[in-house]
């Protein structure tokens, strides 16, 4: 019989976490920054 892996970690993310992940994946932030520019007081 195989031994169970006890290193599994479960993390709960809400709908905003899912949306943020999708935004990162498709590069929306970069597109907006290209079109609008970045202000000096913004933190990147």
pLDDT in tens, 4-44: 667 888 878 788 888 998 999 999 989 998 999 888 887 76
Helix, strand or coil for residue 1? Answer: coil
Looking at the whole model, is its pTM more than 0.85? no
Q: Fill in the DSSP letter of residue 24.
A: H
pLDDT at 44: 62
pLDDT at 42: 77
What DSSP element (H or E) covers 30?
helix 28-36
Are 17 and 11 within 8 A, CB to CB?
no
């Amino acid at each position: 019989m195989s031994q169970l892996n006890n290193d599994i970690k479960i993390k709960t993310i809400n709908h905003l976490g899912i949306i943020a992940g999708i935004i990162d994946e498709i590069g929306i932030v970069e597109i907006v920054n290209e079109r609008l520019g970045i202000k000096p007081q913004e933190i990147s």
